[in-house]
Amino acid sequence: MDHLRSWKKLSISKNQIEADILKGYLESFGIKVMLKNEAVGRIYGLVDGPLAEVEFWVPESQYDHAVGLLEAFNGNQDSNSKI
């Protein structure tokens, strides 16, 4: 996991669909995003539950900016659909 030393876990999404939306949102602001565990849900066709979850990792240097963007993104969602 040497390549993860300069990366920080930002968030966990409930499924691949949410992960793709949030990844595109963050990347549109120049944030690099690495997704972890995304293959498990796709392989088994899962859309809910722990095996469908996808972790978001961003470079430490972009972490604070990404947190602000995530808060803004979640502020535009209703309270039942937070990522």
pLDDT at 1: 46
pLDDT at 10: 95
Q: Report the C-alpha gap between 41 and 72 in whole angstroms.
A: 27
- Phi first, then psi: what are they for 10, rounded to 5°? -90, -45
Domains of the chain with bracketed CATH = 2-75 (3.30.70)
Q: Are strands 34-36 and 7-13 parallel, antiparallel or unpaired?
A: unpaired
Nearest to 16 by CA among 71, 45, 70: 45
Q: Is a pLDDT exceeding 60 seen at residue 79?
A: no
pLDDT at 2: 46
